[in-house]
Structure 1
């Protein structure tokens, strides 16, 4: 399981007109509780028997501490984009049977959704949470995708790998699969 949290958050800071780390901003999660944004994403992973890795930027000590409190190992890197973060996480966990990928700024994602995608993973497929607006997160990549994922770079993620012959849509009734917070939201 990889939680990607190595972005700069520049759009969030610009919209908030403050130098704050959006991952630590309190907001309401799927259960209605108010916690740091990242903590909601970490809690959505609880209950799954998987190695947990959070990828973040240097200097984010509070983010690292929060991840470690929730049973995550932490990989720190200066990431130029989502592709680099994902690739680094896959290389760090190269012996895994697959990689369930979540974004750290998705506070309304439900644990049941994460479990459903994890349960749909298979060695040669890509399982993806799917709702009325199409594909969302999380995404589960089977072991066969390791080499391709490890070679990603820049700001482009793995969406280009989505092909009908390898996709396993996981239907969910969870609008949280689409809420990737780039600007402030109400608590």
Structure 2
């Protein structure tokens, strides 16, 4: 392995249908938030974390397909952290916190904000085959569910509203803009 920390997989293959249905035009990831594209905000936080990362934007049919492709394309990763590209407020420190929670008996780590589950969800390298077998729209939920049932998931309470602030609609974009002004 080339790194001891997990690789952040930034998912940017979605069609953004809810965003367009809400009145948005074009890609939600290119929508402007404080004068900068949503995806640019997300990538800036990922880069600031110092973790290795990969942008998965090849237009796969579902989130599971995107995750599987990214895992296949990062064969030397120590693990993976799944981060949708539409989470522009997630903090670099939160990314590091989730990454550092992986190891030993902990095969996955998921952050919570005030009781609400969020992203990124981290997976240890032992989950490589299960992640590469994913397909469809469920993402990594089946892998996380199995690990949770086995007691191998660390739940991490964080003070980071960014883990649950995804941009799916114009209304969500406006909420993120308001939050950004207060952070």
1:169 to 155, 161, 167: 155
DSSP-derived class of the 2:22 partner: helix
Aligned to 1:45: 46
DSSP-derived class of the 1:45 partner: helix
Gaps of 5+ in 2: 1-7, 178-183
Runs (4 or more) in structure 1 with deviation over 3 Å come to 47-50
Aligned to 1:31: none
TM-score by length of 1: 0.80
Cα-Cα RMSD: 1.6
Gaps of 5+ in 1: 29-33, 57-75
1:11 to 13, 18, 33: 18
DSSP-derived class of the 2:97 partner: helix
CA shift digits 1:21-57 (9 cap, x unpaired) = 11111114xxxxx42101111111123443321011x
Counterpart check, 1:182 vs 2:182: no
With over 3 angstroms needed to count, the CA separation of the structure-2 counterparts of 1:17 and 1:135, relative to structure 1, is: closer
CA shift digits 1:109-160 (9 cap, x unpaired) = 1111111111112265101111223321011100000000000000011122
Aligned to 2:29: 23
Which range moved further: 142-151 or 7-16? 7-16
Give the structure with the higher percent helix: 2
